[in-house]
């Protein structure tokens, strides 16, 4: 099937590559010439494990191509996936300008029946706006071409996006048009050969499903972080509490890890957008307001521990920091706890040497020529003459380091662990002063 994917960001590029990998003829459209030039040169504008190989394989096979030609994109695919960004406005609402611009362009240039699929995360009611935008563009052309608008939200985890797309837990399709539903079943058939995973519902329910899923996961994270802070005060151990509640099948094990807050492009933005949607319809979503407030406070928790150990004035102190990305297996630093932690350390006069396996270029872009921040290419190199080690991202290579080397490199054997990677009892036995999140 011929497919157009509008937007070559995280969602668009992964979706386009995976759809091409099962035999579809995919054209990825982006109005940013630099992105298309990068892709055509054989490189990627994002970091995602395994994606480069899939893209290169399908480009070589002729199933995946790239363009900045809007008219070509609208005329190529019977299915048009809109996967452009929806950045938050100052009030927390999702900015739909790029989604609606894509819809208008489809209406201007489409030459036959089209299924227009909202793949971007969009507020409830966006499907109606997309439909109106396409209809207005067709009316301006005096065209009676038929089309359908579908909501098909993505559920891709950064760092595991290929597996999530190829082996989805569920495929949400919000549509009322039977022809569109059949085409969506056809395009997703290769990804559900084992059993039916496609759930058909109305457009608004599909739109809300995406926000509800991310808000639920964010709620679990903030809940565990709140309990971790309480556990410290009470002398309890949040890891033992996690095991006690996670073994209850009604609760389960996922997203029950305490830490220094969530970040990324999805949870913070989607929680804010859902709160804003509720407010626009006279619903004050008290729980989600608290989730967001708790998460912002948690990002400061590590610095609070550092200040309690040293002093509010950190002038003359130097710290090693492991992990800049908001989570492992990505270079994404949007809303990352590391950004808050670094700003707070700088504000208090400290200097930092940082290491991250893939996000240091992104950090350089964000922090520019910040003189108080330096980078190293190996984690142990960051420790030299540091007053303490701060762990912010739970990369695998941090799980079992050489603790003797850590003790030897630091001025004092002191670790502030924002991801609870180590056993406090083991740290005590090794003579390391260890400060986790909610650990006794």
Q: Which residue, chain included where needed, has tokens 């003189």?
A: 371
Cα separation, 182 vs 188, whole angstroms: 10
Cα separation, 79 vs 377, whole angstroms: 44
β-partners of residue 433 are 414
Look at the alpha carbons of 307, 308, 311, 315 in this order and tell me if their dihedral is positive or negative. Answer: negative
Cα separation, 119 vs 99, whole angstroms: 10
Token reading at 75: 């005329």
Strands (E), 93-189: 114-118, 147-151, 171-174
Q: Going by C-beta distance under 8 Å and a sequence separation of 6 or more, which residues neighbour residue 255?
A: 217, 220, 221, 224
266 is catalytic: yes
β-partners of residue 354 are 321, 375
Output the CA angle 173-279-287, nearest 5 degrees. 80
Q: Dihedrals φ, ψ of 82, to 5°?
A: -95, 115
Query: Residue 319, Cβ neighbours under 10 Å: how many?
Result: 25
β-partners of residue 94 are 88
Q: Going by C-beta distance under 8 Å and a sequence separation of 6 or more, which residues neighbour residue 111?
A: 74, 75, 145
Cα separation, 18 vs 416, whole angstroms: 40
Cα separation, 304 vs 320, whole angstroms: 16
SS3 249: coil
Token reading at 391: 């762990």
| DSSP single-letter state for residue 189 | G
Active-site residue, selected from the candidate residues 18, 28, 260, 266 = 266
Residues classed as catalytic: 266
């Amino acid at each position: 099937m011929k497919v157009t994917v509008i937007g070559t960001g995280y969602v668009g590029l992964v979706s386009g590559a995976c759809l091409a990998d099962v035999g579809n003829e995919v054209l990825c459209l982006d109005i940013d010439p630099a992105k298309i030039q990068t892709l055509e040169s054989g490189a990627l504008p994002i970091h995602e494990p395994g994606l480069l190989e899939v893209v290169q394989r399908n480009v070589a096979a002729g199933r995946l191509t790239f363009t900045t030609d809007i008219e070509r994109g609208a005329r190529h695919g019977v299915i048009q996936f809109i996967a452009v960004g929806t950045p938050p406005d100052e009030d927390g609402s999702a900015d739909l300008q790029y989604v609606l611009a894509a819809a208008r362009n489809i209406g201007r240039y489409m030459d036959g029946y089209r299924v227009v699929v909202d793949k971007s995360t969009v507020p409830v009611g966006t499907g109606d706006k997309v439909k109106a935008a396409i209809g207005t563009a067709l009316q301006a052309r005096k065209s009676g071409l038929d089309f359908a608008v579908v909501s098909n939200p993505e559920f891709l985890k950064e760092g595991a996006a290929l597996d999530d797309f190829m082996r989805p837990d569920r495929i949400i399709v919000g549509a009322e048009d039977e022809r569109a539903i059949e085409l969506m079943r056809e395009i997703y058939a290769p990804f559900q050969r084992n059993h039916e995973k496609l759930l058909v519902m109305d457009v608004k329910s599909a739109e809300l499903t995406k926000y509800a899923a991310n808000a639920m996961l964010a709620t679990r994270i903030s809940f565990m972080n709140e309990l971790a802070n309480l556990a410290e005060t009470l002398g309890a151990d949040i890891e033992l509490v996690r095991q006690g509640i996670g073994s209850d099948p009604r609760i389960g094990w996922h997203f029950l890890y305490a830490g220094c807050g969530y970040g990324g492009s999805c949870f913070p933005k989607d929680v804010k957008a859902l709160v804003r949607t509720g407010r626009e319809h006279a619903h004050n979503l008290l729980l989600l307001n608290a989730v967001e407030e708790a998460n912002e406070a948690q990002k400061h928790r590590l610095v609070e521990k550092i200040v309690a150990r040293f002093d509010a004035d950190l002038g003359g102190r130097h710290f090693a920091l492991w992990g800049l990305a908001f989570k492992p297996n990505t270079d994404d630093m949007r809303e990352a706890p590391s950004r808050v932690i670094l700003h707070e350390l700088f504000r208090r006069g400290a200097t930092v040497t940082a290491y991250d396996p893939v996000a240091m270029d992104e950090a350089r872009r964000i922090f520019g020529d910040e003189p108080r921040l330096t980078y190293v290419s190996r984690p142990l190199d960051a420790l030299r003459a540091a007053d303490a080690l701060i762990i912010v991202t739970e990369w695998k290579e941090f799980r079992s380091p050489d603790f003797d080397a850590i003790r030897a490199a630091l001025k004092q054997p002191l670790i502030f662990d924002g991801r609870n990677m180590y056993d406090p009892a083991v740290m005590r036995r090794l003579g390391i002063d260890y400060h986790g999140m909610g650990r006794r």
